[in-house]
Chain A
Amino acid sequence: MSLIAPADQEKLREAFNEMTSPVRLLFFTQTLGCETCLETRQILDELPPLSDKISIEEVNLILDGDKAKHGVERVPAIAVVAVVGVDESKQVRDSRIRFLGIAGRLRVHLAHPGGAARRRPSAGTDRSEPRRASPPWTRR
């Protein structure tokens, strides 16, 4: 049974269509002592079928070296990295965004990377020049 509801899958599929660059989700896990790692992995595994731009890479926090940790010290955790460029110029750009804990909120972030944009602007704020940066995976 799918952990992401069909209606949410459809929303995610539409949101993922906005992505212009591939995104890799680094999933930090360990074999023992992680109650929610399995469920997190199940949620993550449901994302690539929704978009060919999403891939999952598993990092074992115990077995893999410090270099692979990206500053993560707990599991389950997810790091979002964008893959920009093509073929030989392909580069991985770290978004420096980490999610600690089960991945329920990750799908919200991926689907609405400018979530704060939906809040009403404060009174007297000049909105003529938005200063929000778009995430690297939605830049054209």
Chain B
Amino acid sequence: MAFVSPNITAFAVEATEYPDLARKYHVSGVPKTVVAGNNAEIEILGALPEDPFIDQALSILSPAASEPEAEPKR
């Protein structure tokens, strides 16, 4: 994705070497991908096949991704 878009930069992080980043992004296992942008973050757990991975990553572009979660009805 970074190859094809100048708007994307990919960081591969050695989680054991950067525990602060692991804590920040709630990493309990690897691989874990965090897509950040558009005022939102999306977490992708595990090694997904390519198509679902891309679909999940691109879902950050949907308006709902940046909307705060609605409070549950009482």
Contacts and interface: CB of A to CB of B under 8 A. Distances in A.
Interface in A65-107: 71, 74, 95-102, 104-105
A128 interface: no
A117 interface: yes
Interface in A86-138: 95-102, 104-105, 109, 116-117, 119-122, 125, 132-136
A36 interface: yes
Interface residues of A, number: 26
**Secondary structure dominating the interface of B:** loop
Contact-residue size bin, chain B (C-beta under 8 Å from the other chain)? 20 to 34
Interface string B1-20: 01110101111111011100
Interface of B: 2-4, 6, 8-14, 16-18, 21, 47, 49-53
Interface of A: 36, 71, 74, 95-102, 104-105, 109, 116-117, 119-122, 125, 132-136
